[in-house]
């Protein structure tokens, strides 16, 4: 098998992992090749629009497990390949020198045992760091079930170490990934959290959940994320719209992956991490799934219209953040600027506020920019929905169907 | 007559001129480099001032962030950049450390916007640059940036590839930055003859194979891809060059 065939097989098997981030590490150049960029760098964008930052590959796609949703499961009859440590190093180094990548994202199917697999990964990455003096970014996937001494070793070599939770509940995991248990995954997370330092997994850990392969509601998923963020100090939870690669009676048949839903989950995740929202603010048992026509923040604002309009010149930081069209940067700018002058609608544009969304929810010096009688849920809702460019292009026919 | 003040195209020379103008309360109609051709109502004025490095030292010490912003505006391709820097500098004397909060001043909002745009382009190109290996082991890359970001890129790669010889060639601004494992040299392209013979394409082929594999076809989204990676950069991104050929 040529190196190119191997690379194609092992990249193809790795592509479903959503994480590509290369941020969060300050690894310096210590005489060899490369360094890390704290804010991360995207080197290319794939045909699906996702950032390519790391050489994302599996060490091998051979696996002793049989997770239902996975292309590499034991029972699939597919071409198998395995990289040698030297091959991975040669590709990484030569891609890096030519500035194709920020570094390596190494994951693997499980051969023989979790420990055996992890040892091979450690061998590869050790070679890269010591023989080739590589100081670029490395993200490794820990193999659930591997022993602590190996986690310790691997974590010292990489910038990010993570384990995928895969499914939002342990019941689902039992159903679709019978050889895995979420204990093994959370054990890794706890270990990484407790040992995290400048020298151990400096860029922190992340995880991924597959969306739409099982029955959970958005509320179940977000509640899981919230608890993961709290318990394990995760940098990110990635959501990956389920893409059917296998036929199995336990798996749903979907025409297209639930991308819109995935997008809503990312938006809500953002609200949790940076905007001071809790899951209870945006979802509830009577309202357990996201509105596909409106983003979660606009949806929140419309369901809590009594809290609005907010006065730009007096509302506090977190109140400003609740306004659709105002983000973290623009909220900070507003707070800083209004110490020096009274902000008008005209100034807001210069501060990065998306006025066509924000205008319904704010006043400037007690002036509302529309006719006050238009401050009504129906009016604002329909305007916001029609403003969304995606709707214009793809869903307009669908939308008009609803309205007829 | 409208007075156009002329500077040599360096940041130091521009700041020297601006400092002089503000000190003597001269309001310029515009500030331009020497290749500017004035119209009927304008005249070019060259003051022959001696560069004053103390200004930069002073600003660095007291106003390092505003200095950075003026520098990025200087690197931009904005046709009004000198005047924007002039008014920014003028207002810096007046508002000092509060200046950057005064976004209702045109010179502030424009400076911040332009400097953001320049930094953004530099950041993007840090990712999009593609080196090829020449037969003499030198890494060579061509770029076509809108703004003059070559020096930012060179500093980035000095930290990242300190043990390689490399050349970055900005075709739009006709400049090359050359790194000899120690220092960066900026050279005008007409002063250099390059032999661009490259070595084997093994890794380029591997990279293109990787690129073609990694996109998930069920999620295909070309609009999003082009948003993040504008087409104007594609000619130098090897995996995209191939996409062009494929679709032709
Ligand atoms: S452990 Fe499961 S998800 Fe991982 S490679 Fe094996 S079959 Fe696939």
Cβ contacts of residue A11 below 8 Å, gap of 6+?
A: A56, A57, B210, B213, B214
Q: Best interface-test mutation with A: which of B110, B156, B206 has the largest number of A CBs within 10 A?
A: B206
Nearest partner of A67 among A226, A251, A261, A285, judged by Cα: A251
Radius of gyration of chain B (CA): 22
Cβ contacts of residue A337 below 8 Å, gap of 6+?
A: A343, A347, A351, B101, B102, B103, B104
Nearest partner of A166 among A223, A60, A250, A237, judged by Cα: A237
Question: CA of B222 to nearest chain A CA: how many angstroms apart?
Answer: 6
DSSP secondary structure letters along A215-260: ---HHHHHHHHHHHHHHH--SEEEEEE----S--TTSPP-SS--HH
Nearest partner of A167 among A107, A235, A250, A256, judged by Cα: A250
For residue A393, the model assigns a pLDDT of: 45
For residue A20, the model assigns a pLDDT of: 78
pLDDT of A50 strictly over 80 = yes
Over range A21-44, report the average pLDDT.
91
Say if the Cβ atoms of A47 and B222 lie within 8 Å.
yes
Higher per-residue confidence, A388 vs B82 = B82
Atom of ligand 1 nearest to the CA of A72: 8
For residue B48, the model assigns a pLDDT of: 87
pLDDT of B244 strictly over 60 = no
Say if the Cβ atoms of A34 and B161 lie within 8 Å.
yes
Say if the Cβ atoms of B127 and A42 lie within 8 Å.
yes
Q: Please give the order of strands across the beta sheet that includes A103-107.
A: A54-58, A103-107, A137-141, A160-162
- The reply to whether A26 touches chain B by the CB within 8 Å rule is no
Contacting residues of B for A341, CB less than 8 Å apart = 102, 104
Say if the Cβ atoms of B206 and A3 lie within 8 Å.
yes
pLDDT digits (tens, 9 = 90+) for B188-218: 988 888 778 888 889 999 999 999 999 998 8
Question: CA of A183 to nearest chain B CA: how many angstroms apart?
Answer: 30
pLDDT digits (tens, 9 = 90+) for B7-58: 999 999 999 999 999 999 999 999 999 888 888 899 999 998 999 899 999 9
Q: Please give the order of strands across the beta sheet that includes B175-180.
A: B132-133, B139-143, B165-170, B175-180, B184-188
pLDDT digits (tens, 9 = 90+) for B90-140: 999 999 999 998 888 999 999 999 999 999 999 999 999 999 999 888 999
Highest mean pLDDT among A22-36, A237-251, B77-91: B77-91
Q: How far apart are the first and last CA of chain B?
A: 55
Angle at A388 between CA A386 and CA A394, to 5 degrees: 90
Q: How far apart are the first and last CA of chain A?
A: 59
- Candidates B109, B129, B219; nearest CB to A350: B109
Packing angle, helices B106-128 and B150-160, rounded to 10: 50
- Name the CA dihedral angle for A113, A63, A156, A274, rounded to a multiple of 10 degrees: -130
Element (H, E) at B166: strand B165-170
Please say whether the beta carbons of A239 and A222 come within 8 A: no
B 77-96 residues with CB below 8 A of A? none
pTM over 0.80: yes
Rounded CA-CA distance A69/A243 in Å is: 9
A240: nearest CA partner in chain B: B219
- The reply to whether B239 touches chain A by the CB within 8 Å rule is yes
Please say whether the beta carbons of B108 and B100 come within 8 A: yes
Beta bridge partners, A395, equal none
Please say whether the beta carbons of B231 and B199 come within 8 A: no
CA A102 to ligand 1 center in whole angstroms: 26
Write out the two tokens for B177: 């930055």
For residue B195, the model assigns a pLDDT of: 78
pLDDT of A397 strictly over 60 = no
Say if the Cβ atoms of A33 and B161 lie within 8 Å.
yes
For residue A400, the model assigns a pLDDT of: 33
For B4, the 3-state DSSP assignment is strand
For residue B248, the model assigns a pLDDT of: 43
Task: Give residue A392's pLDDT band: very low, low, confident or very high (50, 70, 90).
Answer: very low
Rounded CA-CA distance A50/B225 in Å is: 7
In chain A, where the domains are located: 3-259, 296-391
A 223-242 residues with CB below 8 A of B? 241
Q: ipTM strictly over 0.90?
A: yes
pLDDT digits (tens, 9 = 90+) for A109-161: 999 999 999 999 999 999 999 999 999 999 999 999 999 999 999 999 999 99
Residue with tokens 């993040």: B228
Widest CA span in chain B: 65
DSSP tag of B44:
E
CA A20 to ligand 1 center in whole angstroms: 19
CA A176 to ligand 1 center in whole angstroms: 11
Task: Give residue A30's pLDDT band: very low, low, confident or very high (50, 70, 90).
Answer: confident
Which range is least confidently modeled, A36-40, A86-90, A320-324, B202-206? A36-40
For residue B245, the model assigns a pLDDT of: 57
Pocket of ligand 1 (CB under 6 A): A 63, 65-67, 70, 72-73, 109-110, 177
Report the nearest-CA residue for atom 7 of ligand 1.
A73
pLDDT of A217 strictly over 70 = yes
For residue A389, the model assigns a pLDDT of: 60
Most ligand 1 atoms within 8 A of CB, residue of A15, A16, A73 to mutate = A73
DSSP secondary structure letters along B69-124: HHHHHHHS--TTHHHHHHHHHHHHHHHGGGGGG-TTSHHHHHHHHHHHHHHHHHHH
Number of residues that this document lists for chain A? 404
Rounded CA-CA distance A13/A17 in Å is: 9
Say if the Cβ atoms of A99 and B129 lie within 8 Å.
yes
pLDDT of A396 strictly over 70 = no
Task: Give the other-Cβ count within 10 Å of A202's Cβ.
Answer: 17
For residue B239, count CB atoms less than 10 angstroms from its CB and return exposed for 0-12, middle for 13-18, buried for 19 or more: buried
Cα–Cα distance list, A400 to A267, A292, A395, B167 (Å) = 26, 15, 9, 56
Packing angle, helices B238-247 and B202-214, rounded to 10: 70
- The reply to whether A313 touches chain B by the CB within 8 Å rule is no
Rounded CA-CA distance A319/A311 in Å is: 9
Percent of all residues in chain A with a pLDDT value above 90, rounded to a whole number: 77
Over range A50-67, report the average pLDDT.
95
Contacting residues of A for B225, CB less than 8 Å apart = 45-49
For residue A401, the model assigns a pLDDT of: 34
- Candidates A45, A91, A97; nearest CB to B164: A97
Rounded CA-CA distance B170/B154 in Å is: 11
Rounded CA-CA distance A360/A368 in Å is: 8
**Domain A3-259, classified CATH 1.10.150.120, yes or no:** no
Total beta-carbon pairs less than 8 A apart between chain A and chain B: 144
Higher per-residue confidence, B245 vs A16 = A16
Q: Best interface-test mutation with B: which of A10, A43, A102, A333 has the largest number of B CBs within 10 A?
A: A43
- Candidates A39, A50, A350; nearest CB to B103: A350
Over range A73-82, report the average pLDDT.
95
In this structure, the strands spanning A362-364 and A367-368 are antiparallel
Please say whether the beta carbons of A254 and A240 come within 8 A: no
For residue B34, the model assigns a pLDDT of: 87
pLDDT of A246 strictly over 80 = yes
b/e burial code for range A334-368 (CB count within 10 A of at least 16 → b): beebbeeeebebebbebbbbbeebbbbbbbbeeee
Task: Give residue B1's pLDDT band: very low, low, confident or very high (50, 70, 90).
Answer: confident
Packing angle, helices B106-128 and B64-75, rounded to 10: 70
Q: Best interface-test mutation with B: which of A98, A210, A332, A353 has the largest number of B CBs within 10 A?
A: A98
Rounded CA-CA distance B2/B28 in Å is: 8
Residue with tokens 């090829």: B132
Element (H, E) at A209: strand A206-211
pLDDT of A231 strictly over 70 = yes
Over range A19-42, report the average pLDDT.
89
Most ligand 1 atoms within 8 A of CB, residue of A109, A145, A176, A240 to mutate = A109
Please say whether the beta carbons of A240 and A210 come within 8 A: yes
Task: Give residue A333's pLDDT band: very low, low, confident or very high (50, 70, 90).
Answer: very high
For residue B133, the model assigns a pLDDT of: 94
Percent of all residues in chain A with a pLDDT value above 70, rounded to a whole number: 96
Rounded CA-CA distance A380/A94 in Å is: 54
Nearest partner of A55 among A127, A7, A16, A125, judged by Cα: A7
Average per-residue pLDDT in chain A? 91
- Candidates A16, A48, A94; nearest CB to B203: A94
Contacting residues of A for B123, CB less than 8 Å apart = 39, 41
Rounded CA-CA distance A397/A386 in Å is: 12
Say if the Cβ atoms of A337 and B102 lie within 8 Å.
yes
């Amino acid at each position: 098998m040529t190196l190119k065939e191997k690379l194609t097989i092992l990249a193809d098997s790795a592509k479903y992992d959503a994480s590509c981030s290369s941020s969060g590490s300050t690894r310096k150049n210590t005489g060899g090749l490369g360094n890390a960029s704290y804010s991360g760098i995207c080197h290319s964008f794939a045909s699906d629009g996702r950032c390519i930052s790391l050489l994302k590959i599996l060490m091998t796609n051979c696996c002793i497990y049989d997770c239902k949703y996975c292309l590499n499961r034991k029972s699939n009859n597919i071409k198998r390949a395995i990289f040698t440590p030297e091959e991975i190093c040669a590709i990484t180094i030569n891609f890096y020198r030519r500035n194709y990548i920020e570094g390596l994202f190494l994951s693997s199917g499980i051969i023989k045992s979790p420990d055996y697999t992890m040892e091979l990964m450690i061998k590869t990455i050790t070679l890269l760091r010591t023989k080739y003096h590589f100081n670029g970014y490395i993200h490794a996937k820990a193999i659930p079930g591997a022993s602590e001494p190996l986690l310790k070793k691997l974590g010292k070599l990489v910038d990010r170490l993570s384990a995928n939770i895969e499914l939002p509940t342990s019941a689902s995991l039992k159903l679709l990934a019978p050889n895995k248990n979420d204990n093994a995954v959370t054990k890794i997370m706890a270990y990484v959290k407790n040992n995290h330092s400048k020298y151990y997994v400096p860029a922190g850990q992340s995880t991924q959940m597959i969306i739409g392969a099982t029955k959970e509601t958005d509320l179940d998923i977000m509640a899981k994320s919230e608890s993961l963020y709290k318990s394990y100090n995760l940098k990110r939870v990635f959501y990956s719209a389920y893409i059917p690669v296998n036929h199995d009676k336990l798996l749903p048949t979907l025409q297209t992956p639930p991308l819109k839903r995935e997008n809503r989950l990312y938006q809500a995740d953002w609200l949790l991490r940076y905007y001071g929202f809790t899951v209870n603010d945006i979802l509830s048992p009577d309202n357990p799934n996201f509105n596909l026509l409106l983003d979660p923040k606009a949806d929140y604002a419309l369901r809590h219209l009594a809290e609005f309009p907010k006065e730009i010149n007096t509302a506090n930081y977190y109140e400003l953040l609740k306004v659709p069209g105002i983000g973290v940067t623009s909220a900070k700018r507003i707070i800083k600027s209004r110490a020096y002058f009274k902000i008008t609608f005209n100034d807001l544009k210069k501060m990065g506020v998306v006025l066509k969304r924000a205008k319904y929810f704010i006043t400037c010096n007690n002036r509302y920019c529309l006719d006050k009688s238009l401050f009504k849920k129906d009016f604002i809702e329909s305007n916001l929905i029609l403003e969304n460019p995606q709707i214009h292009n793809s869903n307009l026919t669908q939308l008009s169907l609803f309205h007829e | 007559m409208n007075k156009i003040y002329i500077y040599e195209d360096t940041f130091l020379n521009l700041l020297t001129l601006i400092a002089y103008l503000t000190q003597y309360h001269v309001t310029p109609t515009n500030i331009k480099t020497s290749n500017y051709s004035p119209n009927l109502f304008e005249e070019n004025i060259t003051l022959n001032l001696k560069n004053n490095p103390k200004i930069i030292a002073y600003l660095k010490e007291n106003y390092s962030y505003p200095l950075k912003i003026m520098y990025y505006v200087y690197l931009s391709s904005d046709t009004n950049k000198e005047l924007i820097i002039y008014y920014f500098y003028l207002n810096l004397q007046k508002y000092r450390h509060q200046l950057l909060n005064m976004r209702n001043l045109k010179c502030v909002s424009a400076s911040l916007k332009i400097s953001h745009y320049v930094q953004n382009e530099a950041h993007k190109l840090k990712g999009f640059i593609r080196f090829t290996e020449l037969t003499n082991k030198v890494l060579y890359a061509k770029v076509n940036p809108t703004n003059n970001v070559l020096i930012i890129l060179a500093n980035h790669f000095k930290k990242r590839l300190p043990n390689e010889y490399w050349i970055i060639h900005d075709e739009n601004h006709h400049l090359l930055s050359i790194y000899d494992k120690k220092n960066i040299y900026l050279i005008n392209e007409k002063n250099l003859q390059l032999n661009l013979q490259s070595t084997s394409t093994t890794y380029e082929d591997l990279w293109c194979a990787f690129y073609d594999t990694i996109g998930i076809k069920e999620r295909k989204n070309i609009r999003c891809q082009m948003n993040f990676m504008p087409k104007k950069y594609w000619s130098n991104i090897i995996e995209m060059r191939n996409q062009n050929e494929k679709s032709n």
